[in-house]
């Protein structure tokens, strides 16, 4: 879509022409356009949308824009938008709107729906309950395919997906599923009970969203039924929400692995105070842990005074150890997340990391030996001290980096906390101990 | 599924009973079961699968198991599996099998198909061409809805998705799309041209998979058509493959951000040699860069000799600076990946990071001041030198961490290389310069 041209049409008050442009656009694009306008223009453009499209565009708008528009439109318009929104989008909206808007919205919500909304709002934030929607096609197993297709035709416009239909008994227990594909392929007189899949994949209301994403991924689903503790069907989750979950979970892992506590909104939309609060905790913990390195160094004050050159290599040794350890821990953390590495694999991980660190450690030490001895011209004892330390530091870093995430996972901690920052701090301490142990032998200090 | 029970049935040669168990299982679960068996048992279990299910289970097996089974089954069985596999799975298979198996497979491939396979194998690894499949329902705009449904019924069993159908002209140009939902809802005599969506979202054969994943995410698609340079429809991509792409892209980013070159297979299945090769490059570059810190330290040899206590705080200062910088760079890298931060936002990022580092820097410095002065009992000049350095190090680290990924992105480098390892090395160098500049002022050295 040509946003510039459309903004100009709006500026020049050529509303009919703009209305025509908007008619064929994708909801996501139109929402992006409306998000880019100022408040007054946004409302104008939003009002030009065809009735059926408005709610869909609304669901793609930024939270701030949604609040503005909900606040500015009249009661009738708001009622129209709300009646067209899918239930999960409506619940999301209520979670994020300011109080005055919530009040306005609830006025247009029936008692039944209000009760249901309250129930949905009580599910934990990252559970199936908070992801599901109630707009699905429910069938009875006594129906024929022809009955089922009739029912789908009647209800399809208000259902988020019709490609999988759900068969329930009188007490709303999930009995099976049937895809629209199978319905279209079957003879119209066939009974649903004969063609439905009887052991469908389902998730429970309190299942965690990360687990649900795995279920979708493994079974290549485009929708999944959600049941409560009594196996009653209460909603469905569709793949578009799972795609968002996958992205959000990845973002959380990235943040956690950089020692940042996860937060909900985007970086640019998050205030400096919140950003600072999400970062300072780990920085403090890591800084205080790092004072251990200072204590080790002060124990070797005399050695450092007599051979000050030892100091020059400390940053390089620490950095290389930290990097080597971070590589191992990142590989293992990601493999745990993907379900590829489990506790029983711990010895395979150790032997892999030992193997890798032998190769990498030898290569790095060799390069360093040549550089320190030949190019920088230090004497052989210092050169050997540094290169031997480097070798063992890489070895130790890779093994620690490989083991700690597995152990964390074993005791039900998030393995992602065993990432670069914490590993670096741990490895630094050990590398200094190695350094001065080797130095004591070679330099007689 | 109860794997233990099933393995036992296999052991006790109760094949009929096992066959019954397998009948209702999900392909993914059965594949997991077969992957867990030894070679002989795996072949046995695989042969118990119903004909329609075998190919689907086969597509979920591990590459090694696929190679074994392709090698062990007879010609007739292999032909059956291959004829039931979707085209994209067949191409993937040929990319990964050893030469003897490829030869065997190609024997069961028609000339036309072989030509097409060769063409598909030539698309770049991470392009739309390598993700797409050819099994889609194509319609003509002159058809009625009733014609279309007939055609769908005839072809559905061999089509990967029938939920979106593609309307092409005689020259195979993409003219529009229509969903099965709309077909089911429309009157059967309606012309396709009247109800199809005329400006469908599409991708091009050479589009990058990361871009395609964004298209699916933004427009909530479950399938997308792929066109060649002449706008001819050559295939479709379905959401299940995009879910895999999203996971693979996230894994690559995690690896790249830990200074590991991306690799294809899982960690445990990758050899020590390959793992070492993927890590050593960056470790070497970073290690050699870190020697700069040694040069800075040696310039201040006299200062370090006279006030050896200065050395004790170097690791803590470097670690904290590195962590502060990694937090900023991780946040910005991820925001760039998600399309939330662009080059034009650089000043917003700088001001955010300045704000955050003022708060965080002051807090960390205050804690450090108390610890060094009151608890450890160092004199005021050293305490001030360390705490002032800490403050400016955090400030510098956060701003550098925030800016570098944006600049990398601007010059078309992957922003992910500006992550923890590289930022740490850069920040280390600057923090030492700050340290000794402050020390020179306070300690008269």
Per-residue pLDDT, A107: 80
- Token pair of A85, please? 């929104």
- Token pair of B322, please? 């590195």
Contact B420, B410 (CB under 8 A): no
Per-residue pLDDT, A364: 96
Which of these, A26, A223, A27, lies nearest to A135 by C-alpha position? A223
Distance, CA of A155 to CA of A135 (rounded, Å): 9
Distance, CA of B300 to CA of A372 (rounded, Å): 18
ipTM: 0.83
Return the top range by mean pLDDT from A149-153, A355-359, B110-114, B269-273. Answer: A355-359
Angle at B342 between CA B337 and CA B343, to 5 degrees: 130
Which of these, B178, B219, B169, lies nearest to B198 by C-alpha position? B178
Q: How far is A225 from chain B (nearest CA, A)?
A: 16
Distance, CA of B258 to CA of B403 (rounded, Å): 19
- Token pair of A83, please? 């009646």
Contact B432, B310 (CB under 8 A): no
Q: How far is B55 from chain A (nearest CA, A)?
A: 15
Average pLDDT over residues A42-48: 90
- For residue B321, name the pLDDT band (cuts at 50, 70, 90): very high
Contact A187/B at CB under 8 A: no
Q: Residues of chain A with pLDDT > 90: what percent? A: 48
Cβ within 8 Å, pair A308-B312 = no
pLDDT at A445 over 80: no
Per-residue pLDDT, A185: 86
- Please provide the average confidence, as pLDDT, over all residues in chain A: 89
Residues B322-379 have pLDDT tens digits of 999 999 999 999 999 998 999 999 999 999 999 999 999 999 999 999 999 988 889 8
Domains in chain A: ranges and CATH: 3-122 (1.25.60.10), 138-238 (3.10.580.10), 272-443 (1.10.357.20)
* A208-211 contact pairs (CB < 8 A, 24+): A208/A126, A208/A127, A209/A126, A209/A127, A209/A128, A209/A130, A209/A131, A209/A245, A209/A249, A210/A126, A210/A245, A210/A249
Contact A155/B at CB under 8 A: no
- For residue B198, name the pLDDT band (cuts at 50, 70, 90): confident
Distance, CA of B243 to CA of B198 (rounded, Å): 27
For residue A181, the chain B residues in CB contact (below 8 A) are: 156, 162-163, 180
- Please provide the average confidence, as pLDDT, over all residues in chain B: 89
Q: Which of A30, A243, A317 to mutate to test the interface with B (most CBs of B within 10 A)?
A: A243
What is the DSSP annotation of B8-53? HHHHTT-HHHHHHHHHTS-HHHHHHHHHTS-HHHHHHHHHTS-HHH
pTM (global) more than 0.95: no
Distance, CA of A154 to CA of B185 (rounded, Å): 8
**Minimal-distance CA residue of chain A relative to B350:** A268
Mark out the alpha helices in A338-419 (DSSP H runs).
346-369, 380-410
Determine what percent of chain B falls in helix, strand and coil, rounding each to the nearest 5: 70, 10, 25
Residues 225-244 of A with CB under 8 A from B: 239-240, 242-244
For residue B251, the chain A residues in CB contact (below 8 A) are: 334, 338
pLDDT at A88 over 90: no
Q: Residues of chain B with pLDDT > 90: what percent? A: 48
Number of Cβ within 10 Å of residue B59's Cβ equals: 21
Q: How far is A80 from chain B (nearest CA, A)?
A: 23
Residues A184-218 have pLDDT tens digits of 888 889 999 999 988 889 999 999 999 999 999 99
């Amino acid at each position: 879509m040509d946003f510039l041209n459309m903004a100009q049409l709006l500026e020049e008050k050529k509303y009919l022409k703009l209305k025509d442009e908007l008619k064929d656009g994708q909801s996501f694009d139109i929402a992006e356009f409306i998000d880019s306008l100022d408040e007054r223009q946004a409302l104008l453009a939003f009002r030009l949308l065809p009735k059926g499209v408005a709610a869909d565009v609304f669901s793609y708008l930024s939270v701030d824009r949604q609040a503005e528009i909900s606040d500015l439109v009249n009661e009738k318009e708001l009622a129209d938008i709300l009646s067209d929104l899918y239930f999960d989008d409506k619940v999301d909206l209520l979670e994020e709107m300011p109080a005055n808007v919530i009040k306005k919205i609830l006025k247009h919500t029936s008692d039944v729906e209000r009760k249901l909304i309250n129930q949905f709002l009580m599910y934990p934030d990252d559970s199936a309950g908070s992801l599901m929607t109630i707009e699905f096609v429910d069938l009875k197993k006594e129906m024929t395919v022809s009955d089922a297709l009739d029912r789908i035709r009647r209800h399809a416009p208000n259902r988020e997906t019709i490609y999988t239909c759900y068969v329930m008994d009188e007490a709303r227990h999930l009995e099976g599923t049937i895809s629209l594909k199978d319905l279209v392929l079957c003879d119209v007189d066939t009974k649903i009970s004969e063609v439905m899949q009887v052991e469908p994949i389902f998730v429970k209301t309190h299942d965690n969203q990360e687990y649900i994403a795995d279920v979708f991924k493994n079974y290549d689903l485009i929708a999944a039924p959600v049941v409560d503790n009594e196996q009653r069907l209460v909603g469905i989750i569709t793949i578009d929400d799972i795609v968002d979950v996958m992205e959000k979970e990845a973002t959380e892992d990235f943040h956690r692995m950089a020692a940042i506590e996860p937060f909900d909104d985007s970086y640019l939309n998050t205030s400096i105070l919140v950003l600072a609060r999400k970062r300072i905790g780990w920085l403090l913990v890591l800084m205080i842990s790092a004072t251990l390195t200072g204590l080790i160094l002060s124990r070797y004050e005399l050695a450092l005074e007599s051979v000050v050159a030892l100091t020059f290599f400390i940053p390089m040794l620490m950095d290389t150890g930290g990097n080597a350890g971070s590589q191992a821990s990142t590989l293992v953390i990601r493999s745990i997340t993907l379900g590829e590495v489990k506790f029983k694999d711990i010895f395979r991980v150790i032997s892999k990391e030992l193997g890798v660190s032998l190769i990498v450690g030898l290569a790095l030490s060799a390069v360093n030996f040549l550089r320190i001895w030949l190019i920088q011209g230090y004497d052989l004892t210092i050169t050997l001290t540094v290169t031997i330390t480097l070798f063992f530091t890489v070895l130790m870093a890779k093994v620690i980096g490989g083991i700690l995430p597995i152990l964390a996972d074993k005791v039900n901690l998030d393995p992602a906390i065993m990432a670069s920052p914490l590993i670096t701090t741990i490895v630094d301490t050990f590398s200094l101990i190695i350094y001065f142990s080797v130095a004591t032998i070679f330099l007689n200090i």
